[in-house]
């Protein structure tokens, strides 16, 4: 299992389009991927789960990945977050 912290710096946080991009990316990997915020842990492959986090701009989240492609999955998700979900 690997994990990393990330801060959401895009304007809208994990709402609609960014959440959709994250779920789409997570589903490309075999590993189990979870996002933790405060006392909540959700499956990153579930759009409903991601939306229920209510993760706004400036929120710190923890990404946990466990599986055969965990390193690649974590790297890709962190890159997506660091790119501000390709928002301008």
pLDDT tens track of the chain, all 88 residues? 999 999 999 998 998 999 999 999 999 999 999 999 999 999 999 999 999 999 999 999 999 999 999 999 999 999 999 999 987 6
Q: Assess whether 57 carries a catalytic annotation.
A: no
State the catalytic residue, choosing from 15, 70, 80, 81.
15
Domain containing residue 18: CATH number: 3.30.1340.10
Say how many domains are in the chain. Answer: 1
From the list 55, 64, 83, 54, the residue with the least C-alpha distance to 26 is 64
pTM as predicted: 0.94
Quick one: 47 exposed, middle or buried, by C-beta within 10 A (0-12, 13-18, 19+)? middle
Which domain covers residue 22, as residue numbers? 2-86
Predicted local distance difference test score (pLDDT) of residue 88: 64
> In b/e form, how buried is each residue of 51-76, taking b as 16+ CB within 10 angstroms?
bebebeeebebebbbeeeebeebbeb
């Amino acid at each position: 299992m690997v994990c990393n912290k990330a801060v959401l710096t895009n304007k809208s946080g994990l709402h609609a389009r960014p959440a959709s991009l994250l779920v789409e990316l997570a589903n490309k990997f075999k590993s189990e991927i979870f996002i933790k915020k405060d006392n909540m842990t959700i499956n990153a492959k579930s759009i409903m789960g991601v939306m229920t986090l209510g993760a706004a701009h400036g929120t710190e989240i923890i990404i946990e990945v466990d599986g055969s492609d965990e390193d690649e999955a974590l790297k890709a998700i962190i890159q997506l977050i660091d790119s501000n979900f390709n928002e301008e």
